[in-house]
Amino acid sequence: MSPIAHSGVALLGWQVMATRKNIKSLGLYLLIANLPDIDFILRLIFGPKRISIHQYFTHNLLFVVATSALLSLFLPRSRDRWGLLLVGLSHLAVDIFVIDLIRPIGIRPFFPFSRVLFNFGFFPYLERGRFQTAISTRNLLVLGLEAAVFVLPVLVLFGTKILRDVKSRAFWTA
């Protein structure tokens, strides 16, 4: 899924789990939620190499546990550590339900111990590739659907609270 869906889950995790609602914790929750998609950036940098294969090396439990442990160094309270881990795991959980047409299809949660791929795709996918495809009406509808499912409920539930948090002076002091 796109950063819209993953960031919606991050916002929920941040509201529920973060012990201090400041810009640092928000940034870390957003980062861990989107980090497995670093394979897209690797692909832009290195091209279609082994390291940048779609969802191949970064969409697994080991990657999520290792990266959330690393980011936990910046948020030492145990509640935040759990929050980061759960939000990191949510990336895998959400991606499993997206229709995947790019080989290898699905994600490998148990890599490197098992190479079994999992995909129970029913949620519409974003078409990537050329610029024209990326900004198609279809993709805009998919992004709208992601926002409706993953962001809107969080804003309905916590919108006023989030606004109050962001407006507070404590938010801007790390």
**Footprint on this chain of Zn ion (rule: CB under 5 A):** 36-37, 95
Q: Pick the closer one to Zn ion by CB: 23 or 143.
A: 143
Rounded Cα–Cα distance for residues 159 and 87 (Å): 19
Rounded Cα–Cα distance for residues 32 and 87 (Å): 7
Least distance in angstroms from the C-beta of 84 to Zn ion: 17
φ/ψ of residue 159, rounded to 5:
-50, -50
Q: Pick the closer one to Zn ion by CB: 37 or 165.
A: 37
58: closest CA among 38, 86, 41? 38
Least distance in angstroms from the C-beta of 39 to Zn ion: 8
Least distance in angstroms from the C-beta of 153 to Zn ion: 21
Q: Pick the closer one to Zn ion by CB: 23 or 86.
A: 86
List 123's β-bridge partners, or say none.
Answer: 98
Least distance in angstroms from the C-beta of 82 to Zn ion: 21
Least distance in angstroms from the C-beta of 26 to Zn ion: 20
Rounded Cα–Cα distance for residues 174 and 170 (Å): 8
Exposed / middle / buried, residue 31 (Cβ in 10 Å: 0-12, 13-18, 19+): middle
Helices and strands counted in the chain (H then E): 8, 0
Q: Pick the closer one to Zn ion by CB: 80 or 95.
A: 95
Q: Pick the closer one to Zn ion by CB: 124 or 158.
A: 124
